[in-house]
Amino acid sequence: MKLDVHKIQNKNGLSIEVLNLGGIIRSIKTPDRKGVFEDVVLGFQDPKHYLEEHPYFGAIVGRFANRIAHGTFTLEGKEYSLAQNNGTNQLHGGLLGFDKVFWEVKPLENENGIQLSYTSKDGEEGYPGNLSVTVDYVLTDDNTLKVKYQAQTDKTTVINLTQHSYFNLSGDFSKQILDHELLLNADQYLPLDNTQIPKGNYQSVVDTPFDFSTLKTIGRDIEAKNEQLKIGNGYDHCWVINNPNNEIVKAAEVYHPESGRTMDVYTDQPGMQLYTANFLDNTLPSKTGGTYGPRTGFCVETQYFPNAPNEPSFPTTILKPGETFTSETWFQFSVK
């Protein structure tokens, strides 16, 4: 299939560009407090780079976002083996996940946006069931990008979808995101073992570097002496969003003081993986010249919990025939 780009714009001039490859959001242009529009997501100028190895820039991640321990799980008594593409674990759906496949794209009829569709075949990347997935990208006139996921299967399976955009609200990708102020609506997070699999317990954020219950710069505690930060080489953890009723709630707020740009994230998902691009190593070309260095972006990946298929106490990620998986995440842009 041919690589193509789809543009969505709202009446205020905000725009996003989406590739049919991986449903990748390759740009989001939003104004700063002076009205200057800049691109606030990492990616490539030349779309061809997206066909090569990259760390899920802007992509839809599936069938299962984040890690599954040892690339294996048991469902209805049957053991499934998946590719181990991250040490002995599976990361982000395997070797050819949803980030690397071509999606059908069509305009939405009743909203300003597009619908992407993909059918993952029974057994693809080792997962059971033909899984039909749609992802809608909608851009509203209140400057909100809504991402709406739906999926159905013909065999019992597991599913966990997310959007893997790397944001830098400064619009300057040579700058680190450590000066961005972040608030997370979460009293707990999931501590990791040293292969980055959640240990299974919920840990209070109080008195730890993981406390973002009030606005704090991402950089304030990122270098603190802390076993968990060492494992992630910075923040690379799932927070448990305070959302007992699975409603759409505000999960995060990010503010970049210099530009005034603010992004509020709403979701109905139980978790949010904050990843501070700890592994970017100046090998990939930046859209604005130069290369992407460590911590020049942050991801706020709304999702179910990593390794949920092997952790019975986590909210279930099982999808059965006849059911419809639905989920929504909104990114709302404004200035302060």
Rule CB under 6 A: which of 77-106 touch ligand BGC? Answer: none
Furthest-apart CA atoms within the chain: distance in Å: 59
Instruction: Please check whether residue 251 is in contact with residue 186, taking contact to mean a CB–CB distance below 8 angstroms.
Output: yes
- Asked if 301 is an active-site residue, the reply is yes
- How far is 298 from 45, CA to CA, in rounded Å? 19
Buried b (16+ CB within 10 A) or exposed e, 201-219: eebebeeebbbbeeeebbb
CB of residue 76 vs ligand BGC: minimum separation in angstroms?
28
**Element containing residue 229 per DSSP (H, E):** helix 227-232
Interface with ligand BGC: number of residues (CB under 6 A)? 9
CA neighbor of 33 nearest in space, from 171, 191, 196, 192: 171
CB of residue 60 vs ligand BGC: minimum separation in angstroms?
13
Instruction: Output the CA angle 314-319-322, nearest 5 degrees.
Output: 145
**Residue number, nearest CB to ligand BGC:** 55
Structure tokens at 183: 């608030």
Q: End-to-end CA distance of the chain: give it in Å, rounded.
A: 42
Question: What's the distance, CA 70 to chain centroid?
Answer: 22
- How far is 179 from 168, CA to CA, in rounded Å? 10
CB of residue 167 vs ligand BGC: minimum separation in angstroms?
13
**Element containing residue 230 per DSSP (H, E):** helix 227-232
Name which of 32 and 236 has its Cβ closer to ligand BGC.
236
Q: Which of 56, 127, 210, 325 binds ligand BGC (CB under 6 A)?
A: 56
66 binds ligand BGC (CB under 6 A): yes
Residues 270-309 vs ligand BGC: string with x where CB under 6 A? ---x-x---x---------------------x--------
- Out of 38, 124, 181, 301, pick the active-site residue: 301
φ and ψ at 149, to 5 degrees? Answer: -105, 145
Residues 143-182 vs ligand BGC: string with x where CB under 6 A? ----------------------------------------
CB of residue 324 vs ligand BGC: minimum separation in angstroms?
25
Name which of 55 and 198 has its Cβ closer to ligand BGC.
55
Instruction: Please check whether residue 99 is in contact with residue 22, taking contact to mean a CB–CB distance below 8 angstroms.
Output: yes
- Out of 54, 124, 125, 164, pick the active-site residue: 164
- How far is 68 from 163, CA to CA, in rounded Å? 18
CB of residue 189 vs ligand BGC: minimum separation in angstroms?
13
Name which of 105 and 300 has its Cβ closer to ligand BGC.
300
Q: Which of 23, 31, 55, 94 binds ligand BGC (CB under 6 A)?
A: 55
Name which of 67 and 180 has its Cβ closer to ligand BGC.
67
CB of residue 273 vs ligand BGC: minimum separation in angstroms?
5
Residues 229-258 vs ligand BGC: string with x where CB under 6 A? -------x----------------------
Instruction: Output the CA angle 189-192-197, nearest 5 degrees.
Output: 115
Residues 10-49 vs ligand BGC: string with x where CB under 6 A? ----------------------------------------
CB of residue 33 vs ligand BGC: minimum separation in angstroms?
30
- Asked if 180 is an active-site residue, the reply is no
Structure tokens at 192: 């990791």
Residue ranges that bind ligand BGC, judged by CB under 6 A: 55-56, 66, 196, 236, 273, 275, 279, 301
Residues catalogued as catalytic = 164, 301
